[in-house]
Each structure stands twice: as C-alpha cells, then as structure tokens.
Structure 1
Amino acid sequence: MADPALSPSPQKHLAANDVVSCNKKSIDDAENSRENVAGETALVIDSAAERALCRKFDFRLLPVLAIMVVFAPPFALLGKKIGPSRMLPILMFSFGSFTLLTATTHNFSGIFALRFFLGAAESAFFPLVIFYLTTFYRRNELARRLAIFYAASNIANAFSGLLAFGVFQIKSDLVDYPWRWLFIIEGTLTVLFAIFVFFYLPKSAAEARFLNEEEKSLAYHRIQVDSSSVVNEAFNLRESLQIFKRPSTYGFLLIEIALGVPLQSVALFLPQIVQRIVKNTIQVNLYTVAPNITGAVTLLILAFSSDLLRIRFPFICLGFALTFTGFIIYAAIDDVERQIKLAYYATFMMTWGTSAPSVLLSTWYNNNVAHEGQRLALTSVGVPLANLMGLVASNVFRDQDKPKYAPALITTASFGGFGILVSACLGLYMVFDNKRRDRRQGVKLSARDVPTSRLRDGPKVDDFRWFL
C-alpha cells in the first residue's frame, strides 16, 4: 500500500489540473492575441492594390518634392496645424522670394538680413517633407521614398558648382555683377514652382483627388495600422511636446549631433578637401561630382535594403563606419601625389557614409513614434540640430591647417565613431527591450505585428515593440 504522504490527493489532482488549465489558457490567450494583432494589421490589405497605390503616391508626390528647395520647430509645428501640403509651398514661395531679393542687394547688411529670413523659411522644409511622407507610406516603405528625395538633393549639389560656373559666364549690361543672375534664375523658378505645388499636393492620402473611393479607404487603413495612432489628428502643442519625456528621444538627438558634423563637413568643405588632390578650380568642381553621385546611389541602396529587411540601426552604423574610415584614411595620407587614387577613393567613402544615415535616422525615429504631433516635434528639432553642427565643421576647417586639414579630418572622424557607438547602443537596447516585452507577455511580437492605432502612448503600452 502506497504511503498516503506520497499519493496525490484529489485536491492535489484538482490543483494540478487548474495549473495546466491556467497555463493552457495563457498560451491560448497569447496565441489569440497574436492572431488578433496580425489579423487587424492585415485586414483588407491587398498586396497588389497596395503596390499600385504606392506607385500612384510615388509619381504624384516624389517628383515635385524632389524638385523643391530644401525657426524649424515653430514653422514645422505650424505646418502640422495648417497642413504640410499648404505649408511646404508657402515656405518654398518665401525662400524663392528672398532669393530673388538677394539679387537686388548692394551691401552686407542687406544680404545678411535676407539670408536670415531665407534660412528661417528653409529650416522647416525637410522636417515637414519627412512628416508629410509619413502620412502616405507605411513604416517599411518610408526610407526609400525619403532616399529618393534626398538623393535628388545630393545630385543637385553635385552639379551646383558647374551651374554656378555656367551662369557666371553670362555677359549682359542688365546687371553690374554676373552673380546676380544666379539668384534671379533660382528665385524665379522657385517662386513659380511653389505656386504650382500649392494646388498640386493633396492634403492627405484619404483626401487625394487622384484616388478613387476604394483607394482612399485603403490609403487611410494603411496609415492607421502602420504609421499613425490617429490619422490626421488635430494639432495639440502640449501633447506633441510629450515626446521629450521619452529617454529614447535623447538617444536619437545624440545621433543627430554625431551625424551633423560629418554631414556638414562634406556638404560645406568637400571642394576644399578635394583641392589637396587637384588645384584647378574647374577640376575641383568636376572631382566633387562623382563622389556626390555615388553617395546618392549608396543612399538608395542602403535605404531600399533597410526597407526590405525592416531594420534601421545596422545600416546607420554602417554609414557612420564608412564616414569614419574615409576621413581616417584621408587624414593618414602624407604624400597625396604618390597615393592620389587612395586619397580620391577616401572622398567617395566620406559621401557614402554621410548620405545614408541622414535619411535612415529620420526614418528610424519616425517609425517609432505613432503620435503625429510628437513625430513632427521630434523631427523638427532633430533635423535642424544636425544642420546646426555646421558651426562645428566651419570652425575646425581652418586656413592655417590647409591643405591637409588634419585636425578637421580627425575631429570629423571622431564624430563618426561616436555615431557608431550611440546608434549601436540604442539599437541593441531596443532588441533587448523587445525580447523583454515578449517574455513578459508570453508571446513573440515584432513591430509589424502591432497596429499603430494601439500605440498612441508609445513604450508605455504593453504591446509596443520597437521598430529596429
């Protein structure tokens, strides 16, 4: 006869059954939760219809946004209130007008005043473009669209020197200095295009006149489940500023600072860097064309790859690594004439490394903020912060250090290394936090499994998963 102490009692049988039942219920609930989430995400989504819809957006939005010329937070937030489709052409008209007026100036004070207002109008443009595109595209569709817009800017920069050279050859008695023609031509084209854009851009995906009712419904649903918690939400300043209570916000802003120095160094000083290789002014302009164009191509490759794999931070780290390597190689070369091919190759790496992170970083934090106002608030601070780092670039490229500019190159490389470190740390934290949330809920979810309609409060929500 078995020892009663070792024999399970009926009560113990019941308890054990309850535990098994409870565990099974938890597993079922977790599975149901996943199915519900996935079901809500995939609801009425037709892949072919989505691709056709995206193509319509591509042809309708990207060409005109790419042609446009590139106080950001207030102007950007005002743009949320009155609508990006109206604010963008207003900004464009403004800086086109200030460009035209620059052609009439005759002293430094006049130029300085106009440049101040022109810069104020330009500052909110890129943040608003980013936000505007988030209202049309899913999170994993955004990087490549922004890359197309930004690549157009890179290619324009590549040929701007040659354009200026050509304009300066204009012989005319209508102006006292040929440079005035550059401002007249650019300003006139910008103002005229801004008027066209004002009537061309749709207010939102769900209100686009070039879509039928079925496409409008699909467009609204896509953004509701994979971009915004509330589509076309009315602007609320207090709610928008809540984004600055998130610790992750300051990680993103640190990366913007790290990015800004190499980005502005290449944008502002690539001709001076190339002058170490070639001396002739026209040749300097020619030698900057190829690095800028390959930078645009690299940007497109990395952005398309990032969208395909639905992951951001490894590609951002790769971009910073290219920047770091390019500047270190160039700084280490003592005899440029003997190693001219390596020196020129290093300038290519500089542009490869600065192009990609700028777009992917903006995409990364926009992908992780479902509240439209908060998304714009973060973008309108982050993008200008990177531009502000031009002050650092301008002060490290000193005349006494030319032609090598060793201190400037080493400083810029250091910011690239810092960018790798912060991006990797933030990305790995997100990986860890996603796994921790999976364990706590007993279900494995990724960012694509959770509709953004549930994520108004961000990481405070149990279902929140970071878009890596």
Structure 2
Amino acid sequence: MMSTQEQQPPTTTDVDAPADVKDIEGLSSHVLIDVPRDEEKRLLKKMDWLLLPVLAFMYLCNALDKGNVGNAKTDGWDKDIGLTGNQYYILVMIFYVPFCLFGTPIALFIKRYSAARVLPLMMVGFGSMALCTAAASNFSQVFAIRWFLGIFESAMLPGVVFYLSTFYKRSELASRVGVFYAAASISGAFSGLIAYGVFHIDHPRYHSWQFLFWIEGAATVMFATFAWFWLPRSTSTWWALTEREKVLARVRILSDSSISVDEKLDITDAFRPLKDPVYWVWGAISFSLGVPLASVNNFLPQIVHSMGYSTVKTNLYTVAPNVAATVALLALTFSSDHFRERSIHISIALSTTIVGFIVLGAIDPVAKKDVAYFACFLIAMGAFAPSVLVASWYSNNTLSESRRAVTAAVMVALANSAGLISTNVFRAKDEPKYTPALITSAIFGATCLCLTLALGMYQRWENRRRNREQGVNLRAQDVETEALGRGKDAPAFRYMY
C-alpha cells in the first residue's frame, strides 16, 4: 500500500528561488513546480493515447471534406455539374469567406461550452455538407454548400489548439498540435489513395466522384457521434483520470501554461491582446504563411496534373509529397518543443517551401517532370509546419485561457483569409504552369520569413533587456505561469520565442 505521504496530491515545492530573482514582483518564492516525474510521464502517455488519435482523425475528416473537390475535379466533377470558366476557382475561394468570419464567434462558444461539445457538432455539419455535395448538380447549389462548409469548419484548428493548451504545458504543445495537424498534411495522401481507389468504380448510374463525397461525408458524421461521447470537457471532469491525476494535471497547467484553470469567459478581456503590437506582427505572420499553405492544400493535385499525368496517376503521385510533408512537420514540431524554440524552426520550414515555389515557377513542368515533382516535395514539406509552430508561439505567450481562445481564432482566421489570395491567383487561364500563382506564393512566404526572424530577434532582445534591468538571468521556463497574473506586464514574464 502507498504511504500517507505518497497519497498526498502533488503540490508546489517550497524550494527557494535563486537569490537574484526573489525580489522581482510577480515571481513567487517557488520558481518551479515539483511533481513526480514518473507519474507525470504516465499522465502524459494517457492523454496522448486517449486524446490525440481522436482529435487527429477529426482533423483528417475536416481536411478531406474541405479539399475533396480538388480530387473530384481530376475525375471530371466540374464538367459533370456544368462548371465553366473560373467557376471552380470561385467555389474554392468562397469557402474562405465564412471560414474567416465565423471562427472567432464560434471560438467564444468553445471557451464557454468546451471544444469537446462544440467541435463534434461542427463536425456533423461539415460531414453533412460533403454528403450534400454528392447530390449537387450546378454551380449555385455547390456555392451554397461551400459557404456552409466554411462556417462549420472555421473553428476546428483554433478550437483544438486552445483545447490542447488546457491539457499540455508550453514545452509540449507544438508536438501535440503537430500530431493533430499531421492529419491535415497526411490527408493529401489519404485523399489521393481514396480517390485512386474510388475512381476505379464504374457504376452505370452514379459518377465515381459521388462515391468519394459519400464515403468521406458519412465517415465524418459517424465519427463525430463517437467524439461527442469520448472527448472530456476538461481534466477536472475526465472519467479516464484518477483524482490524483486530476490534481497533477491542474498543477502542470498552472506551472507552464496558464495563470488560472477553467476561468470564466470575459469577452472584453479576451480581446485585449489585439491592442498589443506584437500580436499584430503575429497576425501579419499568420496571414502571410496562409498563402503558400492554401496553395498546397487546394492546388497540389492541379500542380501535379500540370506535369502531364493522367487522372489516376495524378492522385497517386500526390501521396508521396504529402507523406514527406507529414514527416517534416512532426520532425520540426518535436524539435521545437525539445529546444523550446519557435522562430528559427518556422524559418527553416518557410525557406524550404519558398525554394520549392521558385523552382516550380522557373521551369517547364512538362519538360522537366523530375525536377518539378521534387519541387512538389519541397513546397509540401515546408507549408504545414509554420501553421502549427506559429499557433504554438502565440499561444505559449498568451497565459489567459479566454485570451488564448480568441487569439487563436483571430490568427487562424487571418491565415485562412490568405486562401482568398491563393484561390484568386490560381486562374484557369494560367493552366498548366500557374506561374503568377507560384510567384505570389513565394513572395508571401518570403514576407513571412522576414517577419518571423524580426519578431524572434525582438523577443530575444526584450528578454535580455528585462534580465539586464532586473539583474537576473531568467528564461520563460524558469517561472510558474500561475505567478504571472498580469501576463506580459508582469516583471518576471519572459517571451517563449
């Protein structure tokens, strides 16, 4: 049996802070939280296995239902429903309008009622829209469906980023969001494989692309029902945790994530970070990274198709770049958490995708298929990681739950609004090379790279300035987030960059 001492819940250790940091306002006399490492590892393992696979599959369904029109187009979907001119590109574009407008309002519901309840409901919605697309027969019907699809999908990414931040410490968030987000990058491979198999169906009454929408839409709705009952509203009410683990989970979040747990939603305070110039820079970064990301998400099948491959081969050849992108995403996010560093890792990914777009824009994709296909690997490998790492970056430095929920929604909305640019520069008249679109994607990627490096250098300088003025040598991980009730204004606050 456990001793009485062993049965006590983990508490903050009364270890004295270093002599040179004791007098800083906002820093408690105990700098670090002392929790049993073996118990913490068991708790992490339980959260990883019970939360991440479910969330990842939810996002896989999200990505499949959002991007399946790209695969359907390679099977003649656009011609079968009578699309002409730029109508296909308009349908891709219109999705982003409600996608940007509704993410923030829905994020407030997520904070108020929990992502575990709101996100499965949204999932039923976008799964139903996929089913409706199979029955749509003209431009107007698909236009309306894509509008509602944008509403239902708008809060998925910011909702999960916020949700995971209530379970994981700052030094664990990027890798967990990376595992979740890997579903988006691998979705390109899954959608290619699914389309490859489905497009072999030869039915006398129905088109092959209709089976694609039916299969993916039905799977989404069914899994949403499961997610509703499976996902916990919070660690304090999770059936899978013991009472001791619930206390440990709370202590962990207060040590390295939030200033409080399960705080009530304060709408006025939730929008306060938007007054800070640093968040405007994060907003510009989010917007600029969205253009290359949307280009890969929406048009990779068309880019591969421009090399002269058949419909079946096009869908098959999108698999390998997306698998490589997933590996790169996981490598960068796990490395970022290990080193507790964001800006340099983001810059590495951005540099990769910029080179890929430049190469694609500079060559003839038909004459130099091998080089063009290699460039597809580069644009995919660098497109996805910045979204995860930037989301982790501003979340790590936003210590209030309400502020973090709104910040994530606003930043993701800005990133998604960049899809309007991507879809407008990928024009039918530029097929098959899409040179203006590739150049535009490279320029926005380069802009994002410059902003990321500049903000990373500023935050490093600001941390050094505070240390110099206070006569200490503090890092972000040296101070409990619970002790930083004033957030960035607390003297002991240090940026996690």
The alignment's TM-score, normalised by the length of structure 1, stands at: 0.89
Q: Say whether the 8 Å CA contact 1:76–1:128 is kept in structure 2.
A: yes
Aligned twin of 1:275 = 305
Which of 15, 22, 42 matches 1:32?
A: 22
Aligned twin of 2:247 = 217
Aligned twin of 1:463 = 492
Q: Secondary structure at the match of 1:211?
A: coil
Residue 182 (str. 1) matches residue 212 (str. 2): yes
Residue 302 (str. 1) matches residue 329 (str. 2): no
Aligned twin of 2:133 = 102
Aligned twin of 2:257 = 227
Deviation at 1:455, TM superposition (A): 2.7
Aligned twin of 1:201 = 231
Deviation at 1:440, TM superposition (A): 1.5
Q: Secondary structure at the match of 1:80?
A: helix
Which of 159, 162, 167 matches 1:128?
A: 159
What is the correspondence of 1:44-443 to structure 2 with a 5 Å cutoff?
44-68=34-58, 69-70=61-62, 71-172=102-203, 176-334=206-364, 337=367, 339-443=368-472
Q: Take 2:305 and 2:187, find their aligned partners in 1: how far apart are those partners?
A: 21
334 and 113 in structure 1: CA distance in 2 versus 1, 3 angstrom threshold: closer
The alignment's TM-score, normalised by the length of structure 2, stands at: 0.84
Q: Take 2:365 and 2:213, find their aligned partners in 1: how far apart are those partners?
A: 40
Q: CA RMSD in A?
A: 2.1
Aligned twin of 1:42 = 32
Q: Secondary structure at the match of 1:30?
A: coil
Q: Secondary structure at the match of 1:389?
A: helix
1:244-288 alpha-carbon deviations (Å, 9 max, x no partner): 111111111100111011001111111222234343222222221
What is the correspondence of 1:10-29 to structure 2 with a 5 Å cutoff?
29=19
Amino acid across the alignment from 2:328: T
247 and 92 in structure 1: CA distance in 2 versus 1, 3 angstrom threshold: same
Amino acid across the alignment from 1:390: G
Q: Secondary structure at the match of 1:151?
A: helix
108 and 341 in structure 1: CA distance in 2 versus 1, 3 angstrom threshold: closer
Q: Say whether the 8 Å CA contact 1:38–1:449 is kept in structure 2.
A: no
Q: Take 2:217 and 2:307, find their aligned partners in 1: how far apart are those partners?
A: 34
Amino acid across the alignment from 1:109: S
Deviation at 1:335, TM superposition (A): 7.3
Q: Say whether the 8 Å CA contact 2:235–2:246 is kept in structure 1.
A: yes
Moved more, 399-408 or 99-108: 99-108
Q: Take 1:108 and 1:400, find their aligned partners in 2: how far apart are those partners?
A: 19
Aligned twin of 1:18 = none
Q: Say whether the 8 Å CA contact 2:114–2:233 is kept in structure 1.
A: yes
Q: Take 2:256 and 2:468, find their aligned partners in 1: how far apart are those partners?
A: 24
Amino acid across the alignment from 2:433: K
Q: Say whether the 8 Å CA contact 2:32–2:479 is kept in structure 1.
A: no
Q: Say whether the 8 Å CA contact 1:258–1:415 is kept in structure 2.
A: yes
Deviation at 1:208, TM superposition (A): 1.5
Q: Take 2:210 and 2:370, find their aligned partners in 1: how far apart are those partners?
A: 38
Q: Secondary structure at the match of 2:317?
A: helix
Q: Take 2:377 and 2:199, find their aligned partners in 1: how far apart are those partners?
A: 28
Q: Take 1:221 and 1:211, find their aligned partners in 2: how far apart are those partners?
A: 14
345 and 94 in structure 1: CA distance in 2 versus 1, 3 angstrom threshold: same
Q: Take 1:295 and 1:137, find their aligned partners in 2: how far apart are those partners?
A: 24
76 and 119 in structure 1: CA distance in 2 versus 1, 3 angstrom threshold: same
212 and 287 in structure 1: CA distance in 2 versus 1, 3 angstrom threshold: same
Moved more, 125-134 or 177-186: 177-186
Q: Which runs of 5+ in 2 are unaligned?
A: 1-16, 63-101
Q: What percent identity do the matched residue pairs reach?
A: 45
Q: Secondary structure at the match of 1:232?
A: coil
Q: Say whether the 8 Å CA contact 2:169–2:252 is kept in structure 1.
A: yes
Q: Which runs of 5+ in 1 are unaligned?
A: 1-26
Q: Take 1:453 and 1:264, find their aligned partners in 2: how far apart are those partners?
A: 37
Q: Secondary structure at the match of 1:55?
A: helix
Q: Say whether the 8 Å CA contact 2:188–2:318 is kept in structure 1.
A: no
Q: Take 1:426 and 1:458, find their aligned partners in 2: how far apart are those partners?
A: 19
Deviation at 1:356, TM superposition (A): 1.1
Amino acid across the alignment from 1:410: I
Aligned twin of 1:7 = none
